[in-house]
Structure 1
Amino acid sequence: MPLFDIMLPYYGDVALMQGAVRSVLAQSDPDWRLTVIDDGREPGVPEWFAALGDDRVRYQRNPENLGITRNFQKCVDLLELERAVIMGCDDLLHPHYLATVRSLLERHPGIGMVQPGVEVIDGTGLVVDGLADKVKKRLYAPSVDGSRVMGGEELAASVLRGNWLYFPSICWRSDAVKPVNFRDGLSVIQDLALVIDLLQAGEQMVVDTEVVFQYRRHAISESSVQAFSGTRFTEAERYFHEVAERLDAQGWPKAARAARFHSASRLHALTMLPGALRRGGVDGVRTLASHAFSSGSSTG
């Protein structure tokens, strides 16, 4: 059996999805299986997959729209192979992504998560270095020379201060992810919640600097639309307070403090305020301001 289950929850732009699939087909390491879960109704998509003629590619269309979280959860439920990648339907793998990850797994057998090097591209495929990603790299990402194993309270505190991970690029150990699953009631922050749950369960991560993945950041995304309305930060506030209590109970006070202060999330809300003001959304402005200027000391 292959080693890698590559899962692609799909909804939206057909051409970008096809580019993602082609990047999997172009892997130098052939030890993979791709499963595409189509949550949309775009015409011609089933026919395109049928024409590929590659038995490593499995395609299924949901009979009804599940939405982002439930479709991601379906991908986890369908995992069968030892290692898993749940990539975005508009992201791209470099041809040596799997070969690089395999090498890291051979050096660190049993590791729960692998975060390889990532570069960010825009909607046209151009490599970009926007403000959000500069902040991730310079303020929040740890110092790594080559590769580094992280885990426990150290990594939990780091990602809770500012989530510098790129979720679609991570390779997971399937038997670690399947029992944890995505948390109900979360949408834009579900990736962070999954990582924290795994860290609390004792899993570790290898962080590597070799760039093997292209993460697509669009000018307007689901998360940024929610950010202007403040919805994203209502969810984030609730999650940070809840997880802080759990981390205190686990005896991880530094991570609990990082969750309560959530500095990157508050900074993000502050940067969204001008756009919300221009849009004239009073409720969104109020929610963003409350999140940005909260003391971070509340526990309820």
Structure 2
Amino acid sequence: MAPKISVLLPVYNAENFIAESIQSILDQTEPDFELLVIDDCSTDRSLEIIEGFQDPRIILRKKKSNSGYTESLNWGIDQARGKYIARMDADDISLPQRFEKQLLFLEQNQLVAMCGTEALVEGSNLKFNYPCEPEAIQANLLLGSSLIHPSIMGKTDIFKAYKYDILKEPAEDYDLFTRLAAKGIQLANLEEPLLIYRVHTNQISKVQNQKQIGSAQQSMLRMFCLFDYDRIQYPDETVLSYIWPTRSINRGQLKAGLVFFEQLKNSKHPFTKKEVLKVIRIKRYNLFKAYVQQQDFGTIKASFLALRFLGLSHWRQILKLSY
């Protein structure tokens, strides 16, 4: 008989965390799951630790070559037998009622395809504070990833239909969420923290960080393309310079970017007006801050000036911009 949940747990050199991670899954109050552990040719004691568990719900795949995190996830999706798929990372901890509460939510909200949870950051009082409602999440994806990847649970048929894009690693989660949202597929979050999220130095290298930024930029662009703006006047490269500004922004780009964001307010889009206005306010702030930073004001002063800018109703006149 197929389990209710298939848990995907990719592993690579996680000997310091993997035992606690697996145990947190085995201790779930919802016991009807299979745990697909995919070891990506670890060179430490990870495999030995995994094999020390005797629970029959654990299915271990030992990969023959190191082919990456996303390939491991897609293999797990192909093998999944449960009605739902849950994600887990080898360095995080799921709190005992996580599966029970996510399963109940998804069963009671059939239009929602996937839900994440809030998380506690180990050793910190920080929280992610992502929105919970589907409409708010859809708009928040204009700003960045809006679900905590190792906390998600969703319908298996959705995972199988969309899968992860290997080329988008290590921002494959944001890519997946934006592809779903762009199709109108509902995503949600539970407000309760049901995951303990670890932050440590081995997570992303400098090379991977650059790949992550490049992938995330394309995912953000996908969401902005849901606005009905002039694609000839505003090609993708130009829009990217506005929505993900760099320190090289000049005064002309600042002017054009502010016009672009002003036009978005009145264009057709699938978002709620309230959420769009919030997103545009933040994007204007980031664009103005990037420009001011270039003037050697420093980050703190640039932030202050950008905030002043946002509070001025006659910002066109202040910047002496003519439209």
Identify whether the pair has TM-score above 0.5, normalized to the shorter chain: yes
Aligned to 2:154: 172
Partners of 1:87 and 1:168 within 8 A in 2 = yes
Aligned to 1:158: 140
- Structure 1's unaligned 5+ residue stretches are 143-147, 274-300
Q: Distance in 2 between matches of 1:9 and 1:74?
A: 10
For residue 187 of structure 1, the aligned residue among 155, 162, 169 is 169
* 1:18 partner SS: helix
Change (3 A) 1:201 1:231: closer
Amino acid at match of 1:109: Q
Deviation digits for residues 198-218 of structure 1 (CA, Å, limit 9, x no counterpart): 123332123221221111122
Q: Distance in 2 between matches of 1:210 and 1:157?
A: 21
Change (3 A) 1:260 1:177: farther
Is structure 2 residue 44 aligned with structure 1 residue 52? Answer: no
Deviation digits for residues 11-65 of structure 1 (CA, Å, limit 9, x no counterpart): 1221301111010111122111101000023355445444422111111110111
Q: Distance in 2 between matches of 1:172 and 1:186?
A: 20
Is structure 2 residue 10 aligned with structure 1 residue 9? Answer: yes
Aligned to 2:220: 240
Query: How much does 1:175 deviate?
Result: 0.4
Percent of aligned pairs sharing the same letter? 22
Instruction: Identify which range, 195-204 or 168-177, moves more after superposition.
Output: 195-204
For residue 210 of structure 1, the aligned residue among 179, 186, 192 is 192
Partners of 1:6 and 1:87 within 8 A in 2 = yes
Q: Distance in 2 between matches of 1:235 and 1:206?
A: 23
Q: Distance in 1 between matches of 2:154 and 2:17?
A: 24
Aligned to 2:269: 252
Query: How much does 1:220 deviate?
Result: 5.0
Deviation digits for residues 222-241 of structure 1 (CA, Å, limit 9, x no counterpart): 166644xx443333334433
Partners of 1:90 and 1:216 within 8 A in 2 = yes
Deviation digits for residues 234-257 of structure 1 (CA, Å, limit 9, x no counterpart): 3333443355336649x6375999
Partners of 2:7 and 2:87 within 8 A in 1 = yes
* 1:185 partner SS: helix
Amino acid at match of 1:15: N
TM-score for both structures, normalised by structure 2? 0.66
Change (3 A) 1:174 1:188: same
Aligned residues: 247
* 1:8 partner SS: strand
Q: Distance in 2 between matches of 1:14 and 1:262?
A: 40
Partners of 1:240 and 1:262 within 8 A in 2 = no
Larger radius of gyration: 2
Which protein has greater RCO, CA pairs closer than 8 Å, 6+ apart? 1
Aligned to 1:25: 26
CA RMSD in angstroms, aligned pairs only: 3.3
Change (3 A) 1:106 1:238: closer
Which consecutive aligned stretches of 4+ in structure 1 deviate over 6 angstroms post-superposition? 255-262
Change (3 A) 1:15 1:256: same
Q: Distance in 2 between matches of 1:78 and 1:32?
A: 13
Partners of 1:75 and 1:86 within 8 A in 2 = no
Change (3 A) 1:222 1:96: same
TM-score for both structures, normalised by structure 1? 0.70
Q: Distance in 2 between matches of 1:247 and 1:258?
A: 15
Query: How much does 1:67 deviate?
Result: 1.3
Instruction: Identify which range, 25-34 or 201-210, moves more after superposition.
Output: 201-210
